[in-house]
Every structure is written in structure tokens, then in C-alpha cells.
Chains A and B, each alone.
Chain A
Amino acid sequence: MASASSGLGSLSQAARGKKLRTARGVLLFVGILTIVVNAVLFTVVESQIDKEIEKEKQALRQRGLIADPGEVQKVRAQAIRITRLVQGVAIGLGVVFVILGIIVKQFPVGATLTGLVLYIGAAAVFGMIDPATLLTGLIIKVFIVVTLIYSLQAALAYQREEREARMAAFQSDTPVWPGVGIDGQQAE
């Protein structure tokens, strides 16, 4: 009976381990994608901002107005600074996701929970900055959140079983007091 239950326990642990591997995959995917996309955007930020400024200038010209070149330069410089800051933060976030993916086996609950909170929070923050990003890739976002939630539950069960197994091993190996077993009987 003991072997059967331990067999089932190890089977469950294997299933949880698989979920954790999925979590690792998701975290690494999100991290690498965030780094790559923002690194590319980081390099083309100036041309993107110039395009936007040109659009604004054309809109002003159509209304018979001319933009002050000094003011335009100031706005351009500020826009570049802020966009680079946002993208730098996003790249840093991507690195954090990659690190969480790497350490998910060592810290299953901490890594999945932090990843989940960061992912939801980052989606909300970027949604606040640019609301269009909220709906971009919505299905993928929902998939990632659901996967991380399942992984979190698996991580909690995984951690609990690991702790119980360690406790059981500790109790069976270690006498409570020199010469006295865990059940209070004199050890040989």
C-alpha cells in the first residue's frame, strides 16, 4: 500500500514537474520576446518619433500654422528620452522574466507568483501608457495568464509535497534525543 501511494505521489509530482517546465517555457518565451521586441524598438525610436513629428507638422500646415523649430526640438528630445526609458524598463523586465524562468525549479512558488504578478502588472502599466497594447495579442496574453495560474497551483502542490517528503525523511532518520527514537522508544 505504501509503495502504491508513493507511486501515485511520484506520478503527481511528475505531473507537477511537467507544469513547472511549462511555466519555465512560458517565462522564458515572455522574457526573450520582451527583450528582442524592445531592443529592436530601442534602435528605431528616433525615426519613429521623427515620423510622428512630421505627421503633426503636416497637420499644422494644413491648418495654415507653422511649428516653432526650437519647441519641436525640445519635444523631440523629451519624447526620445521618455520612450527610451520605457523601453529600457521593458528590457529589464524581460531579463527578470528570463531569470524567473531559470530559477523556477529552485523556487517554484516564488518564481511563478512573481512572474504572474509582473506579467499582469506590466500589461496594465503598458495599457495605461498606450491603451492599444491592451488588446494586442489578447488571446496570447490570456493563455499566458491561465498557464501561469495552473503552474502556480502545481508549484504550490509541488512545494508542499517536497516539504512533506523532507519532513518524513528527517523524522525517520533523526532521533529526537540522543538514544531516543522519534516515537519515544529507546534506540538501539
Chain B
Amino acid sequence: MDSRPNEPQEAEAPPVEMQTVECWRCGKQIDRTLARCPFCAARPRSLTRPIRPKVTPTAEGRATVRLIVMFTIFLFISVIHGVVIQAALSPDEVGRANDEGMLYAALFLEAVDTVLVIIALAWISIPRRAERPSLERRATTWLMSLPVLTVVFLINYWYHWYLREALDLELLESPLAGQTDLLPLWIAVICLQPAVIEELFFRYLGLGVLRNVMGVHGAVLVSSLMFGLAHIYVPLSIPVMILLGIVFGYARLASGSLVLPMMMHGLHNAAVMAAEWYSVHAV
């Protein structure tokens, strides 16, 4: 064997294969170390453009964006409803035709909202199941719910009274002042549907999705903000709606189920309706 160990190894090594890339302009194979393509003089793109790593959305990110998209659609439909349908019906006028028109417009909007919530439930991935609070905590929450709801209702009542006094707003003729045979439908529109559908969207989906991406208090606050802003057809009531959303959010967390916020929501709306009914018929 005629081996010479002290001789440099480079001489025996096979030639380094030239690494080539395809020119983005002329499509020919060129040495990747060249500053320009020898055929068309194009600069390699990797040299002229900085590398920009893409921000790939996470599963929680996708769910959050979908929640925002559904929320935007809700708002958009409410605006359309408010602008087109309510403009066609004058709330200053009274009479059966106007009452029925307002009722059916509200029923139509709520039917659309219900369909949207069903789509949202199917589209947005079901949030991770939260840890169930202890029995003691749940019992305390249920016991405290009625006094808390009473306080919130009184705040709501005082807020609207103050607003009317401060802004000297005249009360619009309430559709509840009309025929009593429409009352069961109004109860369904004001008390039942919002209690179920809004709670499903804001407390189950909204709070559930947001809890996965931010802290508990932040999630309650943002979902309440969404809940308040969803009531754009009563813009002056948005602050008090946000407060209600916060109460329902914590009720959902502390009770570990949706039943309590649904009941509180329905009861609150029933109390508002009763107060309005009383104020209209007592005058």
C-alpha cells in the first residue's frame, strides 16, 4: 500500500458539487453563490429580500378570529336591522300595525341571530371544559345571584332614569303599550330568546374561547364588552349592558354552568319588561 499519511487530504477529496438554484427570472440553473445570474443578470431574490418568517395562527388564534368574525356579522345584521327595518316603522306612531310590525321585525332579527349562533357553535371549536367549582362555591353563587341581580336591575333603572332626566329625553311610545294579545310573543322575544341564544354565544363560546387565550378576568371583561356592543340598537344602554355582561360572566364561572346566567338574563329582561309595562299602564 502506497499511502502517504502526511499529504494534505484536500487533493484526494472529490470535487465539491456545485450547489445550484433556479433563477427566478429566466428559470436557468445557476451557481447559488453568484451575486447575479450570468444569463439574465437578475439578483437572487434571497439576497435582495429579507427573510420574513410567517406568523402561523394557532388553534386558539383561529377560534378567536372566528369569534370576532361572528361578532362582526352579528353587529352588521343588527345595523342593517336598525337602519332598514326600524326606519320603515316609526316608533312615534301607535297602533296595531306598528306594534305588530315592530314585533315581527324583532322576531326576524332573533331568528337570524339564532341561526348565526348555531353556525358559530359548529364553526368555532368547542372550548376546553373549565374546571367545575366546588359544591359550596356553586351553592353560594346560586344563593347570591338574586340579590346581585336586584342590585344590577336597580342600577339599570337608575341609569336610564338619570339619562332621561339629564338629557331631557322624551320616552318613546313603547310597543308594550299596545294590544295585550301580543304579550306572549313579546315575552318570547324579550325574555326567552336572548337569555338562551345570547348566553350561548357570549358566555359559552365567547368566554370559553377567550379564557384559552387570556386571563379569566380579561376574558370576562372582553366578552362583556362584546355583549354590551351587541346591543347597538339601544346605544345609550351599552354601559349598563357591559355591567350586566360582567355579572353574567362571573355567574357562569362561579356556578360552572350556563343555567344560572341564562336564568339571570331571562329574569332581568322580564323585570325590565314588567317595569316598562307598569310605567306605561300606570300613567
Whether, in the assembled complex, B222 has its beta carbon less than 8 Å from a beta carbon of chain A, the answer is: yes
Query: In the complex, which residues 1-42 of chain A have their Cβ closer than 8 Å to any Cβ of chain B?
Result: 8, 11-12, 15-16, 19
The answer to whether B281 has its CB under 8 Å from any CB of chain A is no
When A113-B214, A149-B68 are in contact, do A12 and B232 touch as well, CB less than 8 Å?
no
Contact with B along A115-146 (1 / 0, CB 8 A): 01110111011011101001000000000010
- Out of A120, A131, A134, A152, which one reaches B64, CB within 8 Å? A152
Does B76 make an interface contact (CB < 8 A)?
yes
Q: Once the chains are docked, how many angstroms separate the CA of A105 from the CA of B82?
A: 38
User: Is A73 located at the chain interface by the 8 A CB criterion?
Assistant: no
Chain A residues with CB below 8 A from B159, complex form: none
Rounded to whole angstroms, the CA-CA distance of A32 and B72 in the bound complex is 24
Interface string of B30-54 (1 = CB under 8 A from A): 0000000000000000000001111
The reply to whether the CB of A61 lies closer than 8 angstroms to some CB of chain B is no
A78: nearest chain-B partner, CB-CB: B168
Docked CA distance A89–B127 (Å):
34
Report A130-172 residues with CB < 8 Å from chain B CB: 131, 134, 145, 149-150, 152-154, 156-157, 159-160
Q: Tell me if A174 counts as interface (CB < 8 A to partner B).
A: no
Task: Kindly list chain B residues whose C-beta atoms are within 8 Å of the C-beta of A153.
Answer: 55, 57-58, 61, 65
Whether B233 is near chain A, meaning CB under 8 Å from some CB there, is yes
Tell me, in angstroms, the Cα distance from A135 to B74 when the chains sit together: 18
- Smallest CB–CB gap between B78 and chain A, Å? 7
Given contacts A118-B225, A157-B56, contact A85 B167 (CB under 8 A): yes
A51 lies within 8 A of chain B by Cβ = no
If A110-B214, A156-B57 are given as contacts, then 20 extra A-B residue pairs at C-beta distance below 8 Å, sorted by A number, are A8-B53, A12-B53, A15-B54, A77-B168, A113-B64, A113-B210, A113-B222, A117-B226, A120-B72, A120-B75, A121-B229, A121-B232, A124-B78, A124-B232, A134-B79, A145-B72, A153-B55, A156-B61, A156-B64, A157-B56
Q: List 22 A-B contacts (CB under 8 A).
A: A15-B52, A15-B53, A15-B55, A81-B167, A85-B167, A110-B215, A113-B64, A113-B213, A120-B68, A121-B225, A121-B232, A124-B232, A125-B229, A128-B79, A128-B83, A129-B235, A153-B55, A153-B57, A153-B58, A153-B61, A156-B60, A156-B213
